[in-house]
């Protein structure tokens, strides 16, 4: 069977495919967004690490506290802003809280919401 495709159809298909790939790549970047600049070490609400997803929180912990044990994780409100407080035991250290600013994604509308 021979398919009859013209150049316009092929170009349109290529544009749709490139758009889909770009959207997936951008979603991946947002999901792993981590801002630990300007002294943001997660030691306080003022120094909370800004993240784009829970996955990014775990990436930050893995990179900065390799081999640590995660004890708990909970959302807290501080002055109307959502923060995720993750309690860890870094390897060879005592228990510590890492505070993440999750306002970029917490309780935001997602694509999945549109499907319902």
- Mean local confidence (pLDDT), 87-112: 88
What's the mean pLDDT when you consider all of the chain?
Answer: 82
| pLDDT at site 98 | 98
Helices and strands in the chain, H and E counts: 3, 5
For residue 112, is pLDDT > 80?
no
For the chain, the straight-line distance linking the first and the last C-alpha, in angstroms and rounded, comes to 40
> Where exactly are the structural domains of the chain?
8-105
> What share of the chain in percent tops pLDDT 90?
57
Q: What is the mean pLDDT of residues 81-107?
A: 95
Q: How far apart are CA 3 and CA 53, in angstroms?
A: 44
Global confidence as pTM: 0.68
Kindly state the average pLDDT of the residues 56-81: 96
In the prediction, which pLDDT does 7 show? Answer: 76
């Amino acid at each position: 069977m021979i398919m009859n495709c013209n150049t316009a159809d092929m170009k349109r298909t290529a544009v749709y495919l490139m758009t889909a790939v770009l959207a997936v790549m951008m979603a991946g970047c947002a999901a792993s967004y981590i801002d630990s600049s300007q002294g943001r070490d997660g030691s306080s609400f003022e120094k909370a690490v800004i993240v784009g997803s829970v996955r990014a929180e775990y990436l930050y912990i893995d990179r900065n506290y390799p081999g640590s044990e995660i004890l708990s994780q909970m959302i807290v409100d501080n002055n109307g802003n959502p923060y995720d407080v993750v309690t860890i035991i870094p390897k060879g250290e005592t228990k510590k809280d890492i505070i993440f600013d999750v306002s970029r994604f917490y309780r935001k509308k997602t694509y999945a919401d549109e499907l319902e």
